[in-house]
Amino acid sequence: MDIPIKTLIVDDELYSRDELKHLLQAFPSIQIVGEAETGESAIMKALQLQPDVVFLDVEMPKMNGMEAAKALMELKKAPYIVFATAYPQFAAEAFRYDAIDYILKPYDEDLLKETVERIEKKFSQDTPIIHEVGKSAAKLAVEAEGEIYYIDPKDILYMFREEKVTKIIARTGEFEVKTPLKDLECRLNSFSFFRIHKSYLVNLEHVTRLTPWFNGAYQLEIEGREELLSVSRNYVKALRARLEI
């Protein structure tokens, strides 16, 4: 690649950082711009260095890797994440953060090569190399009952936030994730999703009928569903404009 991929290595163990740095130096596309030994310092380094990718350990004191990943995703220029850890049991949780990969210590050079190729492929699609929080999602990775499922956004009917859980209603099933609705809305911005309420996001491709309700509100009928979804009065004007009615 002509443009180097700026990479930050985060691990509380100096030996692990040095080993990964040594292995990554074999790849011309990877430019190591910094290191951090804690989750807190990883956030500061990311703000200062604007890395494209962060290789992130999971088990660290105070702020662990999962907490750091959540904070990194909230940055204006959010880096891609590769979890690098000795603990395989966190893999399912890692994919909640759209991790490019989850690699285990001790590092296997062939598997690391595959990870770098995956990173390069990701960035070859972006010119220039920019990874914003609002990136479009090819597929959503969600965890249900310990399994990871990849959902095509076109199959999603609607989703809503209830307490601290976002429920995704799709043609292929129903799923629960911890990702906030506003983050999913950003990731799905290239698809036909529309917010009809502060807690509801609907795929307009699956709307079969829009009917007046009361006090200026509307109700939506969704393909294959019996429940009706209420459109908040605050969103009616924008929805009518979107539907050109």
Give the model's pLDDT for residue 109: 93
Residues paired with 83 in a beta bridge = 56, 102
Residue-range domain boundaries for the chain: 5-124, 149-243
Residues paired with 176 in a beta bridge = 167
Expressed in percent and rounded to 5, the helix, strand and coil fractions of the chain are 35, 30, 35
d(CA 227, CA 114): 45
Give the model's pLDDT for residue 138: 61
Mean pLDDT for each 10-residue chunk of the chain (245 residues)? 85 95 94 92 86 93 86 83 86 75 91 92 58 50 70 91 90 86 81 88 87 75 90 79 63
Q: What are phi and psi of 68, to 5 degrees?
A: -65, -40
Say whether 149-243 and 5-124 share the same fold.
Answer: no
Give the model's pLDDT for residue 133: 38
The topology (CATH level 3) of 149-243 is OB fold (Dihydrolipoamide Acetyltransferase, E2P) (2.40.50)
**Nearest CA to 187 among 124, 154, 139, 120?**
139
Vertex 116, ends 111 and 121: CA angle to 5°?
Answer: 125
Give the model's pLDDT for residue 19: 95
Give the model's pLDDT for residue 178: 80
CB neighbour list of residue 211: distance below 8 Å, 6 or more residues apart: 218, 219, 221
CB neighbour list of residue 15: distance below 8 Å, 6 or more residues apart: none
CATH, domain 5-124, list 3.40.50.300, 2.40.430.10, 3.40.50.2020, 3.40.50.2300: 3.40.50.2300
Identity of residue 214: F
